[in-house]
Structure 1
């Protein structure tokens, strides 16, 4: 594959800590000659990494290691920093849906894309068109008339295995890993206002039943003449009668009315989140039916795209409704799965991280891992831990904490796995 590097664009920026994980295809909406002039014009402030003309000639305008300015306002699977994590490829085409893409051009594109997919280990779902990522949806339609299914089949069918990954750094000794797990667990509890007692029956139950991390401090309540201590974890709320520590009761899902203990627990859980439990509220009824964990915030309002919404953050999801249409309850997880309404999804994600005292970083490896594994809401800012000369960064989520040695971003570990060793 021959790549022409004689024409360079000054319109670029450093990638910083971002890594390439996407490819975005574009159409020039004009001739290759005019596109090259525009993409290399400093006043245009646009560029692409590659341009392929109709004859299959490949121009590289920006080196892969730099950011090219091709995506504009865009979002994909909860990520909005698309330029920082992608390669942009322009195809010479009128972009009117009728202008053909010649075989020579398609062959060059397939060869280039296959090489980049293998080199950067880009998953199939992250090879996209500009029309897929442009915000708002419908802002762009390129590459119009391009045979997308055929192209994807040519790229991904019988793709050779990727090159071997670099060997992982040898794991630290077991005692160091145990010390790391203990330090991360203690900080995760502290961020939620909880105290980590490893032998406490509710903590053991939460670990054994994979309920996740505590999302708030423990609290006392009295039902009838019995006193209880309770605590909410990512998946559920647990309670024990004081003095009967081996008895652990799960709030669970299901009918609350008529069960005095469960009713008292759910009221206390909402009170801890800053809201009064109302069994007639649509959000509270939804949370009673669906496994979205305990509430983390009271309901709040936000306006996106001229539409006013009410939303609430729970440990495992965010639910929302347009104001006045209370039965139309949506879930953030559905928006991310379908890559729908990216502005709303981003606004809801930002609220999660603001509550945790942090900020949304779509390209942050721990965020990407947590989204992929559906670990729920972030519980606090990421933090550093040092053990025997090794420096780690960790972040607590509702269902687990993630740990990574600094600089080894492709080797993320879960706290639960360390605790099970």
Structure 2
């Protein structure tokens, strides 16, 4: 069977289907038909026939589509699914040639799996619960029975009798066509943690096309989709990167590394949540390992791995001792990171992060490789040709031991590493899967451009003109920690009554599921007051954590002054002071709140505050820290001096210093 999913069209008459009457597709129902494929297809397509499935899978792997998926094929009729109902309107029907209980041929199994996975992906039916087997009504019963159905595993193809030269002289990769077939076979071996390779799945195609390596887990089920700033994201983690899309926009594949762009993401952003999720996926699929398995935004290991695209960790962080010296280490997909631990430990330079791949030969390198093999449960062997090839190619940590598989009558030795899969024919050299020709669907894959979130607010209605000589700066010593002084005519909002009078009141309950200080807003306030707005100055400037399209969520009444402020910073020539974006709208309490009343709500919970230039690794502009002075990296003081002109109060003027923070203190038209 060709690696491309080939589907033949043999339309059944309209009498074999009906409209779905608005019902959504919820399940796939499988039938068996002992009739030879030709007879069955002729019966389904006969004029005035009243029963047919959507698809028929023949014993030789031929797939025939009889009814368009938008229509309800008449294949099951009434059956119990929670209650007695018309199953046809909520299902896709697939009939498999063969008597009930009989084994499927290899080609039939391959075709059935690929067809099923493609239909599941198309309709978001990724759970096994969506697969059901239909049995005809028993004697005396008026309706059929539905039971859970499990897709058969794709076993190795039968070994053909080899005539002519011995296996050692045969080749399975000496033509582009053979290479494409072998590539697909190896891709299935590499994708075991992800449930196999589906050539019809957008994430799989995108990851294969761009060399993301092996999947660390299957695509996220709907129950695990991320919700960030009111938007849902579907995702799949691979060794080098994470592929994701928004909601059901399956072909609009985006990548985590593009959002990160070499900078560690800010908390509360999509990229931060995706990165955090990848850590859990990487470690959960590995063997039990001692050490700290938590995601720590401030740790040098985690920041370096994200910035250099080393992928998720496969182990926790722990310590080893080699030749009397102690090292802290953590195994990542792309490399193993470690730091020498000083004696005493308090003198350890935790920013001194080193890579296994660049460590000289010696006892330390050998021990690091031993640790790198532990997550996959395989023993390290320095003499292995696979290990030597992997180390030379720098393809990361192993995900499996070297195993033997029969392919096209030849026994191949295969070992999966995070970033590539190695294989060897009898008597031949070790080769890399990445050097094989790609199947056409992979080579030709191009995702659709991601649809930007809607910008609900109208464009800025009032332009910003820099006063002659620039914006007036407050007097005083600009190198002083007291500069700029608080604006005389602007005061922050300090009570719930003040905020509610200006931005509207809402009911809420504490909700720590997303944030330890989080809340859940009840009612329709969020839908009515919070809009998506695009800040052009956030786009394409390398600002760490900034959304790629500049879109944030903000209170509708304060949109114009927000946009005018950022435009003013740009025209005043101080926009380059913004180096980190830390977020805006975030339903939560003030950090360190004493109670759970409305008075403890953060301005972020009203969509009227944003944070910039906070670095958790160094507490730059953090709570209770003196904000960076003018001229120092990350200083926002010159920005704060302008912000008051647009109704924004700076957190550097609070009694509890909050140098990252800017909030609306007065509304401007």
Provide the TM-score with structure 1 as the length reference: 0.54
Residue equivalent to 1:119: none
Gaps of 5+ in 1: 1-167
**Aligned 1:372-391 pairs, distance under 5 A:** 372-391=392-411
Query: Within 1, Cα distance between the matches of 2:410 and 2:196?
Result: 26
Residue equivalent to 1:292: 310
**Equivalent residues, number:** 247
Evaluate the alpha carbon distance shift between residue 404 and residue 177 of structure 1 in structure 2; reply closer, same or farther with a 3 A threshold: same
Query: Within 2, Cα distance between the matches of 1:290 and 1:277?
Result: 17
CA contact 1:212–1:400 (8 Å) conserved in 2: yes
Residue equivalent to 1:278: 296
Task: State the secondary structure of the residue aligned to 2:169.
Answer: coil
**Aligned 1:14-413 pairs, distance under 5 A:** 169-172=169-172, 177-190=179-192, 192-219=193-220, 220=224, 221-252=226-257, 253-257=262-266, 260-274=269-283, 275-323=293-341, 324=345, 325=348, 326-335=350-359, 338-339=360-361, 342-408=362-428, 410=429, 412-413=430-431
Residue equivalent to 1:56: none
CA contact 1:215–1:379 (8 Å) conserved in 2: no
Evaluate the alpha carbon distance shift between residue 251 and residue 177 of structure 1 in structure 2; reply closer, same or farther with a 3 A threshold: closer
TM-superposed deviation, 1:268:
1.0
CA contact 2:207–2:238 (8 Å) conserved in 1: yes
Query: Within 1, Cα distance between the matches of 2:282 and 2:213?
Result: 18
TM-superposed deviation, 1:372:
1.2
Residue equivalent to 1:58: none
Task: State the secondary structure of the residue aligned to 1:231.
Answer: strand
User: Which whole-Å deviations, capped at 9, do the CAs of 1:2-61 have from their partners, x for residues lacking one?
Assistant: xxxxxxxxxxxxxxxxxxxxxxxxxxxxxxxxxxxxxxxxxxxxxxxxxxxxxxxxxxxx
TM-superposed deviation, 1:269:
1.5
* C-alpha RMSD of the superposition: 2.3
Query: Within 2, Cα distance between the matches of 1:267 and 1:293?
Result: 11
TM-superposed deviation, 1:300:
1.7
Task: State the secondary structure of the residue aligned to 2:436.
Answer: helix
Query: Within 2, Cα distance between the matches of 1:242 and 1:419?
Result: 32
CA contact 1:183–1:385 (8 Å) conserved in 2: no
CA contact 2:228–2:268 (8 Å) conserved in 1: no
Evaluate the alpha carbon distance shift between residue 280 and residue 344 of structure 1 in structure 2; reply closer, same or farther with a 3 A threshold: same
User: Which whole-Å deviations, capped at 9, do the CAs of 1:215-244 have from their partners, x for residues lacking one?
Assistant: 344333222333322222232122122311
Task: State the secondary structure of the residue aligned to 2:205.
Answer: helix
TM-superposed deviation, 1:176:
5.7
User: Which whole-Å deviations, capped at 9, do the CAs of 1:168-220 have from their partners, x for residues lacking one?
Assistant: 93533766655543332212211x24432122111111122222222344333
Evaluate the alpha carbon distance shift between residue 300 and residue 273 of structure 1 in structure 2; reply closer, same or farther with a 3 A threshold: farther
CA contact 1:194–1:216 (8 Å) conserved in 2: yes
CA contact 2:264–2:303 (8 Å) conserved in 1: no
Query: Within 2, Cα distance between the matches of 1:361 and 1:248?
Result: 39
Task: State the secondary structure of the residue aligned to 2:275.
Answer: helix
Task: State the secondary structure of the residue aligned to 1:215.
Answer: coil
Query: Within 1, Cα distance between the matches of 2:306 and 2:239?
Result: 15
Query: Within 2, Cα distance between the matches of 1:376 and 1:382?
Result: 15
Gaps of 5+ in 2: 1-167, 284-292, 440-669
Task: State the secondary structure of the residue aligned to 1:238.
Answer: strand
TM-superposed deviation, 1:284:
1.7
Residue equivalent to 2:574: none
Query: Within 1, Cα distance between the matches of 2:196 and 2:230?
Result: 26
CA contact 1:227–1:241 (8 Å) conserved in 2: yes
Provide the TM-score with structure 2 as the length reference: 0.35
Higher RCO (CA 8 Å, separation ≥ 6 residues):
1
Evaluate the alpha carbon distance shift between residue 181 and residue 397 of structure 1 in structure 2; reply closer, same or farther with a 3 A threshold: same
Query: Within 2, Cα distance between the matches of 1:388 and 1:194?
Result: 23
Evaluate the alpha carbon distance shift between residue 176 and residue 386 of structure 1 in structure 2; reply closer, same or farther with a 3 A threshold: farther
